[in-house]
Amino acid sequence: MKKYKWRTWMLFAVLIVVATAMLVPFFWMLSTSLKPIGEVFAYPPTWIPKDPQWSNYATVWKVIPFGRYMLNSFITSFCITALHLIVASMAAFAFARLEFPGRDKLFLLYLATMMVPGQVTMIPNFILVKLLHWTDTYQGLIIPNVFTAFGVFLLRQFFMTIPKEYEDAARIDGASYFHIYSRIILPLSVPAISTLAIFTFVFQWNNLIWPLVVVNKDSMKTLTVGLASFQGMYGTSWNLLMAAAVMGIVPSTIAFLIGQRYLIKGITLTGLKG
């Protein structure tokens, strides 16, 4: 028993050290956001600002169209998440519950696309978006990011854990495939769907490369691209940049906290095999 307690305390100690190491950058970001520009590079560095400049947060909204950047990021992330859940859940239902020739081979082929780096497909996607005249538009930011194999894989693994007795009973009552999908499979898959929604929203909220490629107009920039406005040729306003970054992580943090319970449950259950 004593040996067990000793191991438990050691585990907690290691977790506390790791958690502290992960939180230090966030605390430094918050600290820098409240400093005047002259204190940012002061030596020795100060963890707690001597004279907190709360006005830095208000200044961010004045020097750049921060609200527009936040709105663009929210519209893009929300639309991609919603469309991805619809597309991925339908594809996962087909691969998990429908019987058709070559299903498993087709799924493996589809799954193999996860091995292709995003940098490889970026140029073809940009050429396609350019030909469709979708640059500097919401559809150019949204549509190419809707289709990914990861979401299909995650939901398929969960769908396969749902007992087929529910589906058989629905078929006896005359239910169609769409009825089974919408009335049985989806309500039973809330943990997995919530997990995928959080992953997708947070990833797209922090996505930089694709918006940087397809957006030129300032009015269409997302938050990640807009933060580069604080980096100039002759200097960078680090205190304002950190203030903008602090406000920028709030939506993704709220999304994670809201779905944390479903996230843990979804990750646990999708590891089971049907």
What structural domains does the chain harbor? 63-269 (1.10.3720.10)
* pLDDT tens, position by position, 30-55: 898 888 888 888 778 788 888 888 88
Neighbouring C-beta atoms of residue 86, cutoff 10 Å: 11
Cα within 13 Å of Cα(95), Cβ side: 23
Question: 190-205 and 66-97 are packed helices; what angle lies between their axes, rounded to 10 degrees?
Answer: 140
What is the distance between the alpha carbons of residues 194 and 261, in angstroms, rounded to a whole number? Answer: 9
193 vs 267, higher pLDDT: 193
What is the distance between the alpha carbons of residues 234 and 214, in angstroms, rounded to a whole number? Answer: 26
Residue type, 69: Y
Sequence-ordered list of residues with C-beta below 8 angstroms from that of 134, at least 6 positions apart, any chain: 140, 143, 214
pTM (predicted TM-score)? 0.85
* pLDDT tens, position by position, 243-263: 998 998 888 888 888 777 766
Q: How far is CA 251 from CA 7, 146, 184, 260, in A?
A: 37, 20, 31, 14
